[in-house]
Amino acid sequence: MFFFPNGDSPTVILLPNHGQARVDLIAEYVTPEGTMYGEEESILNPENLSDLERLVEMQKEQLDKEEKEKELFEKFGIDQDQFKF
């Protein structure tokens, strides 16, 4: 993620060629209602730091869960690929 000073230059977003990748990238800048995210809505806004901290905690919990599952698969000699959807 890159941060540039406001007003430094016009916003230019390079879009990938793959359709879903374009949608995913644009979704980072546009709300579900189709408006642009403003600073007050940004998760990087200092008033929203608790949301960002919770997001980091959730990601760590998920990573820990995945690591434990991986260890169990290895412990019991089970091929993980047969359980992926």
Q: What is residue 5's predicted lDDT score, i.e. its pLDDT?
A: 61
pLDDT tens-place string over residues 31-51: 888 777 776 666 666 777 788
Q: What is residue 33's predicted lDDT score, i.e. its pLDDT?
A: 82
Residue 36 DSSP code? B
pTM score, whole prediction: 0.45
Extract the residue ranges of the chain whose pLDDT is less than 50.
Answer: none
Tokens linked to 13: 């977003």
Give the integer Cα–Cα distance in Å for 11 and 16: 16
34: left (phi over 0), alpha (psi -120 to 50) or beta: left
Q: What is residue 60's predicted lDDT score, i.e. its pLDDT?
A: 94
Q: What is residue 16's predicted lDDT score, i.e. its pLDDT?
A: 82
Residue 25 DSSP code? H
Length of the chain: 85
